[in-house]
A and B are shown apart, each in its own frame.
Chain A
């Protein structure tokens, strides 16, 4: 399925002298969303790397001392190692979202990648982001991959920003797959960018707000 041509090529970055070529509306929206996801992920990556540096320094300084026991180093080596694992996982998610999407788009993989970057940052801000249901079972969608990815990323960011307690649930079906975010602290579901909603609708992706629930129904 091709990208919709009906959306005007309005760029949020145009207007400045020496500016790069105007981007399509879809591209601009995705870059905005990706920027928000990356910003949060980068903060967590930096935090984990800072931890790695400190833990490596503990190992380095202690191992230089006489009478050092392996036991006094193990905990810090383990900690540095697990932080590096976290950094790798976040970097992989970042890379996956930065590349052109595979077609058909895997809803499950996209949700996991966004969560890997947005979730830890939200939790560091004392927020709760819970994943419910079997996200893997969501499978893929026949809708345009760029638009579907934009819908998932923008909805995730909007929900986490709207509430300190968000549950993301998955309802796989034969004809459609439904992804839903519920704000559990009394907030109403957030409104998404109208252009993103319009792009999604044109691709048969239905975005609904109902009380605290924001749901996206993807066609198979």
Chain B
């Protein structure tokens, strides 16, 4: 049957009908669930996916028409067939005008049931087509996520395209990128998109394990292969057979393991430590490194033949500073993730925090951003995250503060002037005189602007102890090391 096992929900309070209808449709090969009222039906539809719902117009708690309205307002995908008595046909027609797929009249005699049996596959067909459209639309719309990767920048879309193209093949892949850019997530995405997705995914960090242990982890050992090896142990190549092995920091691998790895890649066979038997393995290798490979090759730290074996396809993951379009998306996602995990009602970053997040150069890449947001969620006391929450202490001490001002279109000239005064004041380490000089104004005006703005910010919902009296402390905006002395060295350049 074309739609066998498709899920159908029957929403009706008359048990005498639902039991029989359920049996008839189950005989047709559908998976049936029953909801005794409209409210329960809505709950089921929110939790699970049903291709079709058969809903009685008259139900307790939430009638068929109200249920239909709820489905539409909550954008729950399903096709609704209304079941109605003759007296309520007008309402059924109204339901169709509101988006119901069709209606069928009681009593559900043989003719009506045959009509229903013919209607359901058509409704399921429509549901499936629309489902595919929804998936396609969401895939194309911004393409903000790909597997566990997040990003909609041009650079990341390029990465997604390569993964899409390479995933169906068996080609080895080498992922290059700074630490924290998400190399393992790329490997996982490649595995998930490949035909090996049902097989295991094994990740090994070659730099984290001593040579002997890494070799043992990769190739396994036979019983008695070395002192203490009382049992045989399969290695990652065997255990991940029909799956994918991800070798992180592959350039750190010792030369003799590189030889063994090369041989395994060429022959698709491995031999356990202490073993004589060649074991066939069906494996895809994805390797990654954050090293300068040209230098590693020149220094013979990485075998050239192994490099060419691994780098059949090469992906270069951009550092976060080169995908500024994604910083906001990532920060938002981490904020909601960690707020939810920590049970906090934090909804956003305040504007100063956003300024800092968007202007900081994130040398630790996505990992650093993720950690900064997680820490700030834990530290935050209000419903928004301030720059103090998000900026790591060592940066506050070192004095890395935003060197630009973002002024939304439509701001008043006074607001723009105050923002400029505040940021310049912060960049001078809280030196009124120097700020005034840079801005071409007087220290009194700077003081008025800065204090006025801080008061305004506090009154408009600043969080934390500093904001509790309606004012922020200057220390929130001024690096501690510069609070008493102006900066001597130039500020880091905004990238």
Give residues in A with beta carbon < 8 Å to B.
Answer: 46-55, 57-58, 60-62, 75-76, 79, 83, 124-126
Give the contacting residue for A51; candidates B14, B60, B110, B113; CB below 8 A. Answer: B14
In the complex the two chains form, is A54's CB within 8 Å of B17's CB?
yes
Most buried by A among B19, B60, B85: B19
Q: 8 tightest A-B contacts by CB?
A: A51-B16, A54-B20, A53-B107, A55-B20, A126-B60, A50-B107, A58-B20, A58-B23
Taken together as a complex, chains A and B put the C-alpha atoms of A125 and B37 apart, in Å, by 11
Asked whether, in the complex, the Cβ of B27 is within 8 Å of the Cβ of A62, the reply is yes
* CB of A173 to closest CB in B, whole Å: 39
What A residues does B108 contact at CB under 8 A?
50, 53-54, 57
B20 touches A79 (CB 8 A): yes
Is the beta-carbon distance between B110 and A50 smaller than 8 angstroms? Answer: no
* A60 to B27 Cα, complex, angstroms: 13
Is A79 in contact with B113, judged by CB distance below 8 angstroms?
Answer: no
The minimal Cβ–Cβ distance linking A217 to chain B, given in whole angstroms, is 35
Using Cβ atoms and an 8 Å threshold, which residues of chain A touch B85? 46
Report if B161 contacts A (CB, 8 A). no
> Is the CB of B13 closer than 8 A to any CB of chain A?
yes
Question: Which residues of A sit under 8 angstroms from B13, Cβ to Cβ?
Answer: 124
A76–B20 contact, CB under 8 A?
Answer: yes
Count CB-based A-B contacts (< 8 Å).
62
Given A51-B16, A57-B20, A57-B113, A126–B61 Cβ distance below 8 Å?
yes
A57 and B16 in contact, given A46-B85, A76-B23 (Cβ under 8 angstroms): no
Which positions 15-46 of chain B face chain A at CB distance < 8 Å? Answer: 15-17, 19-21, 23-24, 27
CB pair A47 B20 closer than 8 Å: no
A126 to B17, CA, bound (A): 18
Main secondary structure of the interface of A (DSSP, over half): helix
Residues of chain A within 8 A (CB-CB) of B19 are: 55, 75-76, 79
Q: Roughly how many angstroms separate A55 CA and B14 CA in the complex, as a whole number? A: 12
Q: Is B109 at the interface (CB under 8 A from chain A)? A: yes
Chain B residues within 8 Å of chain A by Cβ, number:
20
Task: Give chain B residues whose Cβ lies under 8 Å from the Cβ of A52.
Answer: 16
CA distance A48 to B107 in the complex (A): 10
Nearest chain-A residue to B109 (Cβ)? A53
Q: How far is the CB of A69 from chain B (nearest CB, A)?
A: 13
At the interface, yes or no: B106 with Cβ under 8 Å from chain A?
A: yes
| A-side contacts of B23, CB under 8 Å | 58, 62, 76
Is the Cβ of A54 less than 8 Å from the Cβ of B21?
yes
CA separation between A60 and B113, bound complex, in Å? Answer: 12
CB pair A60–B14 under 8 Å, yes or no, is no
Q: A61-B27, A125-B60, A126-B60 are in contact. Are A49 and B107 (CB under 8 A)?
A: yes
Closest to A60 in B: B110
Contact B14 A50 (CB under 8 A): yes
Which one of B14, B27, B110 lies within 8 Å of A47 (CB-CB)? B14
Known: A57-B109, A57-B110, A125-B60. A50 touches B24 (CB 8 A): no
| Closest Cβ–Cβ distance, residue B13 to chain A (whole Å) | 7
The residue of chain B having its C-beta at the shortest distance from the C-beta of A47 within the complex is: B14
Chain A residues with Cβ under 8 A from B110's Cβ? 57, 60-61
What mask results when residues 92 to 123 of chain B are scored 1 for a CB within 8 Å of chain A, else 0? 00000000000000111110010000000000
